[in-house]
Structure 1
Amino acid sequence: MQDPFHVMDFHSRRSPVLGTRGMVASSQPLASEAGMRILQQGGNAADAAVAMAAALNVTEPCSTGIGGDAFALFYSASTREVTAMLGNGRSPAGLTMEAVRAQGIKGHELPADSALCVTVPGAAALWEDTVKSFGTLSLEQVLQPAIELAEQGFPVSPVTAYHWEISAPQLRGPGKAAFLTPDGRAPAAGEIQRNPDLAATFRSLAKDGALEGFYKGRIAAAIVEVLKRERGVMMADDLAHHRTVTTRPIHTSYRGHTIYEVPPPTQGIAALMALNSLELEEQLDSMPWGSAEHMHAAIESMRLGFVDALQYNADPEVVPVPTDDLLSKEYAKRRRAELFRPNKAARVTPGNPIPEATAAAAPSEARRSSDTVQFCVVDGHGNGCSFINSNYLGFGSGIVPEGCGFTLQNRGHGFILDPKHPNCLGPRKWPYHTIIPGLATDPEGNLFCTFGVMGAFQQPQGHMQVISNMLDFGLEPQTALDAPRFSLYGVDSAEGPSTVLESIVLLEEGFSEEAVEGLQKRGHTVHSNVRGHDRAVFGRGQIIKRDPKTGVLWGGSEPRADGQVLGW
């Protein structure tokens, strides 16, 4: 008999979850419980978000962990301001083209399993800094639920078990047994899994803080040692050099609301440019949802956003990124007037947001779609936190430092091996980043929602689609997430803006034959009826919406994952 967890058909429905005193949403029910526990102990949205980040490291290590990067957007109810926290680590100082070529690596990108792909993990510092900057509890209190899960064990969820099994061959290093059963396989759905090494890492972080408890001392030494064994170049000083960056998010307006994203080198700018274009479709709310007319307008807007993002987005400390010009409403109007046709897919090419702009070559990024976690919290005071954490590809590099209980990310796979390229591999440099949390405020500046849809290049596409679902079609959060999605498949920053023109449109199961035929008549190459675990290509998201008048919270959790919303 076929394993029902591997079939992954969709037969049930979810209602939105409502509450007033606080709400959490994540891809793992036990992580959501950890966040809710922190809220009920007096913590706020920042505290609960970090508690869920740590718990997700325990329960979904094939997607996320303290060995990876993270970003957060925090809305303060008292100041009505949104802050971006950037937890993306830089490459080692010894990561040079000479070091790469000395290992016989050729081509335009690093092999995903190379230890040279390991950049400094930024999550640990971001967790601590988020709690210090905005939280009300100690880091020790915040990490306690995750420590208990790691020490006492937890039952593995079905969708996670599927992806854990697929990614398990990545694992290597002296500590890989922490992620496998005693007989050396990935745990099955319902099996109890423990990770005491990870609990010890969390205890070090809680006791000594991120700098002394992670980026220096025992854990740092274990990272350096295992990477040296695997022919990596990271040294102790690379780890000790890391710091979280706190800055202002980028944003645009959409139907009177303000949509926030983290700035370059992330691809949040692609979502905002797409929304700027879609907002110019004045008849959108009168189109039947999911019709060919609706989908064409959304797809073309996303293609316009992507083609410029892939041309200009890179590390802003290395390449001047014309962010303000790309996000201007005037530029969106010009681009749409030049290229959008209601009955024909355009031959999209990069634009020129400023006359003197010089186009940057497109940075590299992997093509997988489901190796990240995005989660949200809104507390009873109206503070909101949208948080995202990732290993990059599955278990990342698959390299496990001895006695630490986590894998190291392979975010350096996002570099390109071209000395003339602005995103060329180099020392102490940020790679191009796909992961993006999202947050929106209403026309009066109140928190509207925390949201996100993870999944490589699906992320800006998912952001645009769920925001449009809510603001154009009035869908509540759960229905906005349940709705079938499209994905521009084949978009690839390693190859550049031309991949937008070459991409095909994937349509999830649920779109009508009329919509499929209508898109094909407009010149789109369409692959429809995507179902089962293949739905991972459409990303996995969470949304919590807040009514500013009543304080009622409405939450939705991704049906394509194991997730859950908890309201209080």
Structure 2
Amino acid sequence: MRPRAHLRRGGVAAPLALALAVATAGAGTWLAVRADAAAPVRAGDPVRAPNGMVVSQSAIASEVGARVLEEGGNAIDAAVATGLALAVTHPTAGNIGGGGFMVVRFPDGRVTAYDFRERAPAAAHPDMFLEADGEYSPERHHNSHLAVGVPGTVAGFWMAHAAHGSRSWEDLVDPAVELARDGFPVSEDLADGLDYLLRDARERGYTATVDAYSNAGRPWTAGETIRLPDLARTLARIRDQGRDGFYRGETARMLAAEMERGGGWITEADLADYEAVEREPVV
């Protein structure tokens, strides 16, 4: 019987943390268990696997991670591949513009953690979210270019993979490139999420978001195919150039230019200086 991957439904959890849950079990010989995406699992139902499991908010991303395990990759490999696939299939939360944590438990019981949360730009200061009259501005804090931190996801995945990965970086990023370039079917959850995202983006004048994710002006319907060519090109640079494909070069220049255009403070230097951190977890 072909191994299967599991899509967790019925709960609201951080998609990136779910994608990385596979990393907690350690490396070794892996077998994934995949539930049929057409048969959602109720919250609280036990799901068991003899050796390993991939869990994320997206059945397609979970499938990517399960395939890595099937092909002999370890838990770190599967976590990286799943997380990058989520950047395509779960753009409302699983994207490469944010950050996260990865906790890893090894077969001998050792535990380590990677901290790749976002970092404030060098120009940040305590009053940056205050209006001219000194009053706190929720809009500046939550919905402006000033609200953006230097992203950490790519750096965190790169660090964890460099330390513990067994498959090539290119092999782990390529499925995400293919999904963005060739397209994938929109789920009901994604259709709902994109509908909200696009309405908000139009109201705020985020034209690049509207251009990238709109469906010729129509709401997305489950089953339609969405393609993200701009994201595919960005992921291809990350695949081919490693972390420098995000934090330096063309991608960094475009990010810094958008920050300057919108009044944000992240610069190319901020991106180049970003470092993920390995920490001793509290367990």
TM-score bracket, shorter-length normalisation: 0.7 to 0.9
CA 1:13/1:132 → structure 2, altered by over 3 Å: closer, same or farther? Answer: closer
Residues 129 and 141 in structure 2, CA contact (< 8 A), matched pair in contact too: no
TM-score by length of 2: 0.77
How many residues are matched?
A: 238
Q: CA deviation at 1:123?
A: 0.4
Q: 2:179 aligns with which of 145, 149, 153?
A: 149
Show the 5 A alignment for 1:3-402. Answer: 14=42, 16-77=46-107, 79-97=108-126, 100-101=129-130, 106-107=135-136, 109=138, 110-171=140-201, 172-174=206-208, 176-181=210-215, 183-210=216-243, 212-251=244-283
Q: Is the Cα contact below 8 Å between 1:173 and 1:226 reproduced in 2?
A: no
> What is residue 27 of structure 2 aligned with on the other side?
none
Stretch of structure 1 that moved more, 103-112 or 231-240? 103-112
Q: Residue type of the partner of 2:223?
A: G
Query: 1:152 Cα shift?
Result: 1.1
Map 1:448-459 onto structure 2 (within 5 A).
none
State the AA in 1 paired with 2:253.
A
Q: CA RMSD in A?
A: 2.2
The structure number with the bigger radius of gyration is 1
TM-score when normalising by structure 1 = 0.40
What does residue 498 of structure 1 align with? none
| 1:206 alignment partner, SS class | helix
Contact 2:112 2:281 in 1 (8 A): yes
Higher helix proportion, which one?
A: 2
Contact 1:177–1:184 (8 Å) recurs in 2: no
Deviation per CA, 1:382-417: give whole Å up to 9, x if none.
Answer: xxxxxxxxxxxxxxxxxxxxxxxxxxxxxxxxxxxx
Native 8 Å contact 1:69 1:122 kept in 2: yes
Q: Residues of 1 paired with 2:51 and 2:164: CA distance?
A: 18
Q: Name the SS for the 1:23 alignment partner.
A: coil
**Larger RCO (CA under 8 A, 6+ residues apart):** 1
Deviation at 1:80, TM superposition (A): 1.3
Give me the whole-angstrom Cα distance separating, in 1, the residues matched to 2:281 and 2:41.
35
Closer, same or farther: CA 112–216 of 1 in aligned 2, 3 Å: same
Offset of 1:113 from its aligned partner? Answer: 1.0
Q: Report 1:487-502 matches (<5 A).
A: none
Structure 1, residues 340-381: CA drift from partner, whole Å, max 9, x if none? xxxxxxxxxxxxxxxxxxxxxxxxxxxxxxxxxxxxxxxxxx
Query: Cα offset for 1:18?
Result: 3.6
Q: Indicate conservation of the 8 Å contact 1:150/1:199, yes or no.
A: yes
Identity %: 35
Deviation at 1:213, TM superposition (A): 1.0
In the alignment, is the contact (CA less than 8 A) between 1:140 and 1:203 conserved in 2?
no
Per residue, is there more strand in 1 or in 2?
A: 1
Gaps of 5+ in 1: 1-10, 252-568
Unaligned runs of 5+ in 2: 1-38
| Code of the aligned partner of 1:87 | F
Taking the aligned partners of 2:41 and 2:282, their CA distance within structure 1 comes to 35
Deviations 1:438-458 (A, max 9, x none): xxxxxxxxxxxxxxxxxxxxx
Shift of 1:112: 1.4
